[in-house]
Amino acid sequence: MSRTIAPDAKAMLDTRGLYDGPTIHSMNPLLLMEKIIRERIIDSMYWKEQAWGLNAATLLDRAVDLQYIGGQYANQKPTAFICLVLKMLQLNPEREILLEYLQDEDFKYLRALAAFYIRLAWPAAEVYKTLEPLMADYRKLRLRTQAGFKLTFVDEFIDDLLTKERVCDIALPRMPTRAQLEDMDELEPRESLVSDVEEDSDEEVGEEGEVGED
Amino acid sequence: MSKPKGVYDNAATGDTSFRRTWDRDEYAHKAAERQAQEAKERKERYEAKVAGKKYLPKLDANINVKEFDDSKMVEARRDRIRLDENLNKVQIVPFGSTGGRRGKGAGYYCEACDLNFTNSLEYVEHLNSKQHLQATGQTDIVERATLEMVRERLQWLKQRKRDQNRAEQFDLAKRLAERRNIEEEERIERKERKRVKKEEKRREKLKANTNSVNLDDTQDRDATTMARMMGFEGFGSTKQR
């Protein structure tokens, strides 16, 4: 892997000759995003001004400033979130860096960004293994759509990523369901995060009852 | 560069003086220099060919070749581009500068490249262009971040967030107290102003009363009787009320 990168996506989207850059799912990473939204992003002011010349470290500055997730808003303008997703597809950060983003506790929008990228770029079994632990994160997220703002949660967003075909106005790469992967012995059956809660739910009810009497 | 001189030296009107003029001597000198350079290169090329070698241009101070590349890699922008910097400001634009991009004119001006742009998108695109980067001593490549760099940055951002939170908490009580003080002062001031105004009004009223009594008695009555005699009563409309 080369030690330098381009400040923008111009070279990676050059259609003259064969593409010989890094690939994801054996294709140009930037093509994982549909042409229309990709071009809207590249024409947007955020991409030209804020997302220009970023690398995996300086991308954090922008990710920390994110206020909402989403694909397009208002008059089909791309959100900063989706611009940064395209930027990450261009940067193609290493696995360790992505895990660093994902495991950070302080910035929830950074986590959402990393989760979205992982869903786009990684093989199915790993996506399930990496993202499922995040279902324990119940923090609120702001989702901006064409119609306005909506409230969602990190775990809800992760669930959308694992089960839906379109999230944030992007068609996600096809992925076998969890059940299929379990049948192929690529995944262990999932341990529910609330399984141990159910077991000792009786005790909790008892405790709550006592509190109520006081 | 050539000095801007009038094209028609005896032109008294001077209405064409904004046109670009050329210093013939300077360009003749430049041409002579270039020709000498080319002649020298031809000669070296010929000598190399006679000797059966490949001609390689020498790194000469006269030849315009960069001896070393000290240009820096591009870094992410630290701040926003201030596109509304000149908003609502009056600027004096040099005459005849509306044509091309070269030179300062109305709009966004790039100091390094001496170029002028009429819209923000063009300007930002220019700031990202190779031309601009070269003029400011940068190359259009970005350093790839390593895991250590990412960790360091993240730590720094976390620290910054923590500091900001602390600063905000500290500020709140202090700012509330400050605000209370200001409001108290404003209230007292308003009260004082009101009192002064009231006093003034009272005094004026008193004065007016004494004046009107004097006027009614003497001059004013004479004037109205005279006017009635002459056939008019006053200025303004004749409308009956």
| CA-only gyration radius of chain B, Å | 40
Q: What are phi and psi of A47, to 5 degrees?
A: -60, -45
Pairing type for strands A140-145 and A77-78 reads unpaired
Residue B239 forms part of a structural domain: no
Residue B91 confidence (pLDDT): 81
In the predicted structure, residue B70 carries a pLDDT above the cut 80 = no
Residue B59 forms part of a structural domain: yes
In the predicted structure, residue B38 carries a pLDDT above the cut 60 = yes
Same domain, B86 and B133: yes
In the predicted structure, residue B26 carries a pLDDT above the cut 60 = yes
- Of B106, B124, B139, the last residue of a domain is B139
Residue B156 forms part of a structural domain: yes
In the predicted structure, residue B42 carries a pLDDT above the cut 90 = yes
Residue B129 forms part of a structural domain: yes
Q: Tokens 């694909």 sit at which residue?
A: A71
Per-residue pLDDT tens over the stretch B182-222: 999 999 999 999 999 999 999 999 998 877 655 555 566 67
Residue A213 confidence (pLDDT): 42
pLDDT band per the 50, 70, 90 thresholds, residue B97: low
The crossing angle, in degrees rounded to 10, of helices B147-217 and B219-230 is 80
Per-residue pLDDT tens over the stretch A57-75: 999 999 999 999 999 999 8
3-state class (DSSP) for residue A142 = strand
Strand order through the sheet with A4-5? A4-5, B138-143, B72-74
- Domain residues for B154? 145-207
Same domain, B134 and B155: no
Which residues does chain B have within 8 Å of residue A93's beta carbon, measured at their own beta carbons? 145
Ranges of chain A whose pLDDT falls below 50: 205-214
- Which of A47-61, A81-95, B67-81, B137-151 is predicted with the least confidence, judged by mean pLDDT? B67-81
- Of B66, B92, B124, the last residue of a domain is B66
Averaged pLDDT for residues B114-126: 89
The ipTM, to two decimals, is 0.84
Residue B77 confidence (pLDDT): 84
Residue A208 confidence (pLDDT): 46
Same domain, B87 and B61: no
Pairing type for strands B72-74 and B138-143 reads parallel
Residue B55 confidence (pLDDT): 84
Which residues does chain A have within 8 Å of residue B128's beta carbon, measured at their own beta carbons? 7-8, 48, 52-53
Residue B226 forms part of a structural domain: no
B139 inside 8 A of chain A by CB: no
Write the residue in A5, A61, A101 that is nearest to B142 by C-beta.
Answer: A5
Greatest alpha-carbon pair distance for chain B in Å reads 128
Q: Which one is predicted more confidently, B212 or B83?
A: B83
How many whole angstroms separate alpha carbon B115 and alpha carbon B126?
A: 9
With residue A81 as reference, give the H or E element that holds it. Answer: helix A80-91
Residue B241 forms part of a structural domain: no
Residue B17 confidence (pLDDT): 72
Q: Which one is predicted more confidently, A123 or B235?
A: A123
pLDDT band per the 50, 70, 90 thresholds, residue B85: confident
Same domain, B130 and B77: yes
Residue B87 confidence (pLDDT): 84
Residue B4 forms part of a structural domain: no
A11 inside 8 A of chain B by CB: no
Instruction: Enter the tokens of residue B16.
Output: 């064409």
Residue B135 forms part of a structural domain: yes
- CB proximity list for A165: less than 8 A, separation 6 or greater: A171, A172
Mutate to test the interface with B, among A46, A49, A95 (most CBs of B within 10 A): A49
B187-195 contacts at long range (C-beta below 8 A, 24 or more positions apart): none
Same domain, B56 and B105: no
* Residue B73, burial from CB neighbour count under 10 angstroms (0-12, 13-18, 19+): middle
| CA-only gyration radius of chain A, Å | 20
Residue B139 confidence (pLDDT): 86
Task: Report the domain count for chain B.
Answer: 3
Same domain, B112 and B59: no
Same domain, B60 and B73: no
How many whole angstroms separate alpha carbon B170 and alpha carbon B167?
A: 5
- Of B139, B171, B197, the last residue of a domain is B139
Which residues does chain B have within 8 Å of residue A2's beta carbon, measured at their own beta carbons? 144
In the predicted structure, residue B98 carries a pLDDT above the cut 70 = no
Those of residues 73-112 in A touching chain B at CB distance below 8 A are 93-94, 96-97, 100-101, 104, 106-107
Same domain, B154 and B169: yes
With residue B171 as reference, give the H or E element that holds it. Answer: helix B147-217
Total residue count of chain B as it appears in this document: 241
Residue B103 confidence (pLDDT): 73
3-state class (DSSP) for residue A112 = helix
